[in-house]
Amino acid sequence: MLDDLRDLYQEVVFDHNRNPRNFRVIEDADRTIEGFNPLCGDRITLYIKLDGDRITDVSFQGQGCAISTASASLMTEIVKGKTIQEAEKLFQAFHKIVTGQDDDLKLEELGKLAVLTGVRQYPSRIKCATLAWHSLESALKGEQSSVSTE
Ligand code: ZN
């Protein structure tokens, strides 16, 4: 990995963990889901407001490691204002890259999310980084009220 990207990864994880964005409850959320990563003990609750198929607001609460918190924080920033389809596409691109199924880093497409590809260096932490996204996906499908990475 590029040194610059690794430095940025550490900086972004530190910043978002210390000061998570959208860390609050949405009282009248259209979707609420609890996500759990038993490997690390990360727990989040995700709140989503929808207008048709657009995500007008998204927030989270929870307790977890720095990577899970930073990833959830970044995710809420990135998907707010996006349509369900756009969020789904981002999740798929992100998931492929962090799990190493796609070595072709489409950094421009990922935007801010690109820094989280730094987690690939720490395979045991990948589920920490994807927890918020798995939760988002399940919540948008409306299938479950809780999701586990295992
Ligand atoms: Zn974790």
Ligand 1 center to 125 CA (angstroms): 6
**Predicted TM-score (pTM) of this structure:** 0.89
Ligand 1 center to 84 CA (angstroms): 26
Crossing angle of helices 3-18 and 66-79, in 10° steps, is: 90
Q: Which residue has the higher pLDDT, 137 or 120?
A: 137
Ligand 1 center to 67 CA (angstroms): 6
Of all residues in the chain, the percent with pLDDT exceeding 90 is: 59
Alpha helices in the chain (DSSP H): 3-18, 66-79, 84-98, 107-110, 126-141
Ligand 1 center to 145 CA (angstroms): 21
pLDDT digits (tens, 9 = 90+) for 96-126: 878 877 666 566 666 777 778 778 888 888 9
Structure tokens at 21: 């964005």
Ligand 1 center to 91 CA (angstroms): 18
3.30.420.40, 3.90.1010.10, 3.40.50.11540, 3.40.50.12780: which CATH number matches 2-141?
Answer: 3.90.1010.10
Task: For the chain, give every domain's residue range.
Answer: 2-141
Residues 135, 139, 145, CA angle at the centre, nearest 5°? 85
